[in-house]
Amino acid sequence: MAVTPSPDQNQLLAALPQEVKDRLFPHLERVSLPLGKIIYEADDAAYFVYFPTDTIISLVQVMENGASAEIAVVGKEGLAGVSVFMGGESTTSRAIVQSAGHAYRMESHLLKEEFERHGALLNLMLRYTQALITQMAQTAVCNRHHTIHQQLCRWLLLSQDRLSGDQLVMTQELIANMLGVRREGVTEAARRLHKLGIIEYSRGRIRILDRAALEEQSCECYAVVRKETDRLLTY
């Protein structure tokens, strides 16, 4: 049976007190986000914030020569657009849809007005931002010190946490771009996971068959991010 779309499918929105929901939810618009859609470009003003429900948004740093690497993933646990309430108004990263789906969006000034009430939303958003910073810091360390195999395991686990279900729609080329590595390295790592019976990969669809084994194959970076996210965002 299909689940009726609701803002409460986003964990941040679901955690808000009813009085805050009453002020904000009438201003939410459900939008479809296709794979590859750029919702923010670096240095652009953020006119909307996005609360994913069944989509993943990647925050990506892009170099002058066009090379790029993902610094964080945002899904049903959070939002894209923290610069709105952190005072920067724009960011140096690109926000691009990594896994197609839906989100609820709101005009940025409305969220900022609620944030400036210094109530429940402020506390919730600052805790989420701390969790996001932890993910960014751990991603930087992981990309520097761990193998492509370990990075892929971490990336698959973080992505699954931010969606419902065990299947991701993602090409190896896009994964390589997200991790900032060569496609051949991702292909080899994915083939190894497939041979171990941990994932199933076909035509851009990755299905996680053995989550526990995938966690064993990952480096400690996933556990660090998961622990901090759970600590800060357990309501």
| DSSP letter, residue 163 | S
Domains of the chain, start order:
7-141 (2.60.120.10), 146-232 (1.10.10.10)
Q: Is 10 helix (H, G, I), strand (E, B) or coil?
A: coil
Determine which helix (DSSP H) or strand (DSSP E) holds 32, and give its type and residue range: strand 29-33
Asked whether 28 and 49 are in contact (CB, 8 A), the reply is: no
Within 10 angstroms of residue 201's Cβ, the number of other Cβ atoms is 16
Q: How confident is the prediction along the chain (235 residues), in pLDDT tens digits per residue?
A: 556 789 999 999 999 999 999 999 999 999 999 988 999 998 888 899 999 999 999 999 888 887 778 889 999 999 999 988 887 777 888 999 988 899 999 999 999 999 999 899 999 999 999 999 999 999 989 988 999 899 999 989 998 898 877 777 776 677 776 676 777 888 888 889 889 999 898 777 888 999 999 999 999 999 999 999 988 887 5
Cα 169 versus chain centre, distance = 14
Q: What distances in angstroms separate CA 116 from CA 12, 86, 111, 131, 232, one per listed residue? A: 17, 11, 9, 21, 21
For the question of whether the overall pTM of this predicted structure is more than 0.75, the answer is yes
Asked whether 225 and 134 are in contact (CB, 8 A), the reply is: yes
Q: Is 213 helix (H, G, I), strand (E, B) or coil?
A: helix
